[in-house]
A = this chain, B = another copy of it.
Amino acid sequence: MAEVERWFVDIGLEVRVDAVGSRVGRLAGERPEVVMSGSHVDSVSSGGAYDGALGVIMAGCAVGWLAATRGRPLRTLEVFANCEEESSRFACNFWGSRAMAGLIEPEEPEGLADGEGVSIADAMRICGLDPAGLADARRTDLAAYVEPHIEQGPVLEETGDLIGVVDRVVGVRGLRVSLTGVGGHAGTLAMAARRDALAGAAEIVLGVERLARGRGAPTVATVGQIEVRPGGFNQVSGLARLTIDFRHPEEEVLAELDGELRGLVASVAAARVLEVEVSQGTMQAAIRFDGRVCTAIEQACRDAGVAWRRMPSLAGHDAQVIGRLCPAAMLFVPSKGGVSHRPDEETQLPHIVSGIEVLARTLFRLAYQPLP
């Protein structure tokens, strides 16, 4: 974050740290209302360098270029570097943007802990932030938000378009499943007497995959986390925990999937005489972005002579949270091989440059011109 701050200063922006530690680079305009662009600087564990730091860099380049060539804007421009979006350390995704939108629950700072048991509140104190002042991050001055981001899928690469104008985000839901059977010795516990929690978990993993495949694209469902106890090679598992992540653009389909997945878990547990607990994890409604912001991005693409297409985002993003405060939309640049959340994720430099040009033209329309 120190690097981000130095760079904001270098490109002529005034730097501010908000109450949760996100960094904001500001180019003051004639009016107080703010047109904001940016993304998050954290990544998933074992992730890559582009999701979402590239969005912060693209926004900084675009605003820096506007500051240098167009001077003071009509509306104030800000670059947003969100401190946390990916739940990489705490199970608290969209932390920075939720703080802006006043969507952090009072119990979260003390209640959410990392793998070592450190709460977010303690982690904030270690960074010199006061958890009691968290409400100060709330914003009421936003006029628009544009989030540049890598696509994380193969569509742009396949169609040859350079920009994705993202007009909606799929809904994402998560379930946390805990199965309790009876642990025991791998030699002395006869197969017929077993209530093996891992075997139940394995059935659920395959059932989740079958359900999602059965519905066809764009349905996706994933078991990404699994752990068993006691976990010795010569021990039958008495406990298994897993997560289910499932996504679809339609809320009705998400609700159906939720029912089917809970039914799957219940029937596996019943058949294997396992105790089961299912708790709600992620719960992000499918949302539509603002039509006017999407149109501004499309006009910028036309101005730049760059091929573009409208598309949904299949992943969650800060823009869907900030979109509850102000008109918002996203701009995707291609992901090489459609790869993301992996160390080899990449966006080629010419694609980044096209993206910055389109973003700068979009922000010019939103911040330097009277709105239509």
Which residues of A does B touch, CB under 8 Å? 44-47, 87-88, 151-154, 170, 172, 174, 183-193, 196, 198-199, 201-203, 205-206, 209, 212-213, 217-238, 243, 245, 247, 281-282, 313-316, 338-342
Contacts and interface: CB of A to CB of B under 8 A. Distances in A.
A343 to B, nearest CB: 9
A245 to B, nearest CB: 5
A130 B245 CA distance: 51
Contacts of A47: 230
Among A205, A236, A313, find the residue whose CB has the most chain B CB atoms closer than 10 A: A205
A199 B237 CA distance: 18
Given A230-B45, A236-B224, A196 B209 contact: yes
Contacts of A245: 186-187, 233-234
Contacts of A339: 184
A315 B187 contact: yes
Given A205-B199, A206-B199, A188 B315 contact: yes
A22 to B, nearest CB: 21
B243 A233 contact: yes
A340 B87 contact: no
Nearest to A218: B190
Contacts of A247: 186-187
A208 to B, nearest CB: 9
Nearest to A236: B222
A342 B184 contact: yes
Contact of A185 (B45, B193, B225, B341): B341
Contacts of A232: 44-46, 87-88, 224-225, 341
Contact of A187 (B154, B209, B314): B314
B220 A151 contact: no
A260 to B, nearest CB: 15
Contact of A281 (B225, B233, B238): B233
Contacts of A233: 87, 174, 222, 224-225, 243, 245, 281-282
Nearest to A215: B191
Task: Pick the 3 closest A-B CB pairs, nearest first.
Answer: A46-B230, A202-B205, A153-B188
Contacts of A220: 186-187, 189-191
Given A185-B314, A187-B315, A224-B233, 20 more contacts: A172-B187, A186-B220, A186-B247, A187-B220, A187-B313, A188-B315, A188-B340, A190-B217, A191-B217, A191-B219, A192-B213, A202-B205, A202-B206, A206-B206, A222-B233, A224-B231, A224-B232, A225-B232, A226-B226, A233-B243
Contacts of A224: 186, 198, 228, 230-237
A236 B224 CA distance: 5
Contacts of A202: 201-203, 205-206, 223
A196 B210 CA distance: 13
B45 A231 contact: yes
Nearest to A221: B191
A340 B234 CA distance: 11
A269 to B, nearest CB: 15
B228 A228 contact: no
Contacts of A223: 198-199, 202
A183 B341 contact: yes
A99 B336 CA distance: 55
